[in-house]
Amino acid sequence: MTELSRAEVVAIAAEAVRLYAATETLVAETLGENQRAARQSLTTPEILDVRQVAEILRCDADTAAKRLNNGDLPGLKFSHSWIIPASVFYERLAEMAKEEAAKRRQITLEEAEARRRLSTATTLPPPVAADVAPKRRGRQRFRPPGF
């Protein structure tokens, strides 16, 4: 995957904004203002910001920003804010859910194997001899012979 320079990202974003404005103008001319407002309320946004991601994940905006910064979630850092394509975000959420489920499944299998090994192990530790007194700690008291 190649990294884009800042100028290329700005050019791509500007082109996207231009295309979006052209599309909106065409929709407004074709459908009229009332139908356009109804259409917007039914569709989900194509680009999310950190606040919207935090609402979807039901977490704080700082937590969402940290996950974006760490690379756990996909997004573009544009100036001082994040731009997150909705389709890529939802795909990554699905991947993360599958990874987490696989980890839980692996842990469950390992626990079952460990329990099986413990239940089949019949060797017990050797018994402690009864005539051996346990070690005493600290300074030993004087005991006269015969005690």
**Token reading at 58:** 């039901």
pLDDT score of 80 more than 60? yes
The residue with greater pLDDT, 38 or 52, is: 52
pLDDT of residue 118: 78
What is the pLDDT, as a whole number, of residue 90? 92
Cα separation, 46 vs 88, whole angstroms: 10
Among 9-18, 122-131, 137-146, name the one with the lowest average pLDDT: 122-131
**The model's pTM:** 0.47
Provide the mean pLDDT of the chain.
Answer: 80
64, containing H or E segment: helix 61-70
Give CA–CA dist 47/84, Å, rounded: 6
Question: At residue 50, does pLDDT exceed 90?
Answer: yes
pLDDT in tens, 92-133: 999 999 999 998 888 888 888 888 887 776 666 666 666 667
- Map residue 77 onto helix, strand or coil: strand
> CB of 62 within 8 A of CB of 50?
no
Query: Which sequence spans correspond to the domains of the chain?
Result: 1-43, 45-118
Q: Which two tokens stand for residue 67?
A: 């996950």
Handedness of CA 30, 32, 33, 39 (dihedral sign): negative
Query: Does residue 21 have a pLDDT over 60?
Result: yes
Supply the pLDDT for residue 95: 93
